[in-house]
């Protein structure tokens, strides 16, 4: 009944956000018109691509600010955009754009979500370049279908002077048709076939970058080329770039490694674990700790388990903002995918870590502690889903949370 009610009032919510965006644009004087705004959207890879473009522009001596899911950086100041938020509320967003104008910036890089686009929070923003990383089956609890999800993403491209789309992704053909029908200019990037931007001798960029982030680096390189940033400077910036906080971040690396990442979709979990498994020595184990958000896209949960089960040896299912759902129920739905990969459930008190087993430990702190306690020399513990976020949603309350600190506290206690 609640879901039906939400669907019924969603148009009113969208109108509300549209009115806020209109008033905010008027109040702050349509600040995006005085900036070259680069919008980055897609299911996965948005944050890293935003930080890459920002790093390249700063290294090229350009004045730039940005908003990502981690924080907003305007000039030298950093701002929080709120809990579980990527695209800020329209009023805050226009305020940040105005501060960027006052700072004398030329560029503004904006991580953009389908929710923000659908709800008109980005109304009034004119994009110099719009980038789309990929569109996989995500957020269908909100959008209801892949087509509607894709159309929400496409709204940003239709408001961009130039678009950049991933030719290797399944979203390419429908996005191309939308852009061509609207007479919009676009470029392509990819690692296969004929594209405008690839890693090859023509671009002078090699593929020595990690396999997991090749598309993000390539998108950032392509944007830089479109903006006519000299290639030598771009190459230096790509080599000096460090992934943002909580993205493939090694937080401990002595007798075993602990890596945290924000991956929370089947595709991103698959890609992260695939890259990590390539680094794992023979006969060593990959221990994966993760969950899935409550009241969000329940249909993806078995696919999350299947993605984890493809590469992990041991899985510990735990909480990840379960809200008003039962974390045991969420874990059981993820476990469907694990069992398809041959995993068997074991007691949370297991001692000997055999391969292809999973346990449910709903308390995230205790789940991480278990993973660290069973890790042997050379093993890799991977924690996904929380990363940089500073809270855990339990019931209707937010509780303070710091994934990196949780890891280090447990290791210090050992």
Quickly list DSSP for 240-261. H--PPTTSSEEEEESSSEEEEE
Torsions phi, psi of 72, nearest 5? Answer: -105, 140
Long-range contact list for 249-256, CB < 8 A, 24+ apart?
Answer: 249/387, 249/404, 251/404, 251/407, 251/408, 252/407, 252/408, 252/411, 255/377, 255/378, 256/375, 256/376, 256/377, 256/378, 256/379, 256/380, 256/381
Q: What pLDDT shows up at residue 353?
A: 78
203, pLDDT greater than 70: no
Q: How many CB atoms lie within 10 A of CB 85?
A: 16
Q: What pLDDT shows up at residue 5?
A: 53
Q: CA-CA distances (angstroms) from residue 114 to 244, 381, 406?
A: 22, 31, 31
**265-297, pLDDT tens digit by residue?**
999 999 999 999 999 998 899 999 999 999 888
- Residue predicted with more confidence, 152 or 144: 152
Instruction: Give span(s): CATH 3.90.190.20, the chain.
Output: 249-413
Highest mean pLDDT among 152-156, 236-240, 326-330: 326-330
Q: What pLDDT shows up at residue 205?
A: 61
Q: CA-CA distances (angstroms) from residue 116 to 50, 67, 123, 127, 142?
A: 16, 13, 9, 15, 12
Q: What is the DSSP letter of 377?
A: T
Q: What pLDDT shows up at residue 115?
A: 86
Q: Which residues pair with 189 in a beta bridge?
A: 166, 197
Across 385-411, average pLDDT:
96
Q: Please, what's the b/e burial string for 4-26 (b: 16 or more CB within 10 A of its CB; e: otherwise)?
A: eeeeeeeeeeeeebbebbeebbe
pLDDT band at 253 (very low <50, low <70, confident <90, very high): very high
347, pLDDT greater than 60: yes
Burial of 349 (0-12, 13-18, 19+ CB in 10 A): exposed
201, pLDDT greater than 80: no
374, pLDDT greater than 80: yes
**42-87, pLDDT tens digit by residue?**
999 999 999 999 999 999 999 999 999 999 999 999 988 876 767 7
For the chain, the C-alpha Rg in angstroms (whole number) is 21
Instruction: Give span(s): CATH 3.40.1190.10, the chain.
Output: 2-240
207, pLDDT greater than 80: no
209, pLDDT greater than 90: no
Q: Which CATH architecture has domain 2-240?
A: 3-Layer(aba) Sandwich (3.40)
- Residue predicted with more confidence, 39 or 138: 39
Across 381-396, average pLDDT:
96
Q: What pLDDT shows up at residue 4?
A: 53
Dihedral of alpha carbons 70, 72, 149, 297, sign: positive
Q: Which CATH number fits domain 249-413: 3.40.710.10, 3.90.230.10, 3.90.190.20, 3.40.50.300?
A: 3.90.190.20
pLDDT band at 212 (very low <50, low <70, confident <90, very high): confident
| pLDDT above 70 coverage of the chain, percent | 94
pLDDT band at 128 (very low <50, low <70, confident <90, very high): very high
pLDDT band at 2 (very low <50, low <70, confident <90, very high): very low
């Amino acid at each position: 009944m609640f879901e039906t009610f939400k669907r019924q009032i969603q148009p009113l919510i969208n109108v509300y956000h549209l009115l806020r965006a209109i008033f905010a644009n008027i109040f702050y004087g349509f600040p995006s018109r005085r900036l070259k705004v680069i919008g980055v959207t897609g299911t996965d890879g948005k944050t890293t691509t935003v930080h890459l473009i920002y790093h390249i522009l700063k290294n090229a001596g350009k004045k730039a600010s940005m908003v990502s899911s981690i924080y907003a950086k305007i000039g030298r100041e950093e701002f929080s955009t709120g809990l579980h938020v990527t695209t800020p509320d329209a009023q805050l967003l226009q305020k940040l754009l105005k501060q960027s104008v006052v700072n004398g910036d030329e560029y503004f890089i904006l991580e953009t979500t389908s929710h923000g686009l659908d709800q008109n929070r980005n109304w009034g923003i004119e994009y110099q370049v719009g980038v789309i990383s990929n569109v996989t089956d995500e957020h269908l609890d909100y959008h209801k279908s892949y087509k509607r999800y894709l159309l929400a993403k496409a709204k940003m491209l239709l408001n961009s002077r130039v678009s950049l789309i991933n030719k290797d992704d399944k979203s390419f053909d429908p996005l191309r048709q939308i852009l061509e029908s609207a007479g919009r200019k676009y470029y392509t990037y990819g690692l296969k076939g004929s594209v405008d931007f690839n890693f090859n001798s023509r671009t002078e960029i090699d593929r020595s970058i990690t396999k997991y982030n090749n598309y993000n680096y390539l998108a950032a390189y392509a944007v830089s080329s479109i903006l006519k940033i000299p290639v030598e400077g771009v190459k230096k910036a790509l080599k000096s770039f460090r992934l943002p906080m909580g993205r493939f971040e090694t937080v401990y690396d002595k007798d075993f490694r602990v890596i945290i990442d924000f991956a929370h979709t089947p595709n991103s979990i698959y890609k992260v674990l695939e890259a990590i498994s390539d680094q794992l020595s023979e006969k060593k184990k990959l221990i994966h700790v993760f969950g899935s958000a409550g009241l969000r896209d329940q249909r993806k949960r078995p696919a999350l388990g299947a993605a984890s089960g493809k590469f992990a040896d041991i899985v510990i299912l735990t909480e990840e903002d379960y809200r008003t759902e039962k974390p045991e129920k969420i874990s059981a739905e993820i476990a469907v995918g694990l069992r398809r990969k041959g995993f068997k459930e074991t007691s949370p008190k297991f001692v000997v870590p055999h391969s292809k087993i999973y346990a449910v430990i709903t308390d995230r702190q205790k789940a991480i502690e278990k993973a660290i306690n069973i890790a042997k020399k050379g093993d890799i513990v991977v924690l996904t889903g929380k990363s940089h976020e500073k809270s855990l949603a339990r019931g209707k309350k937010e509780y303070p949370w710091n994934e990196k600190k949780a890891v280090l506290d447990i290791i210090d206690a050992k």
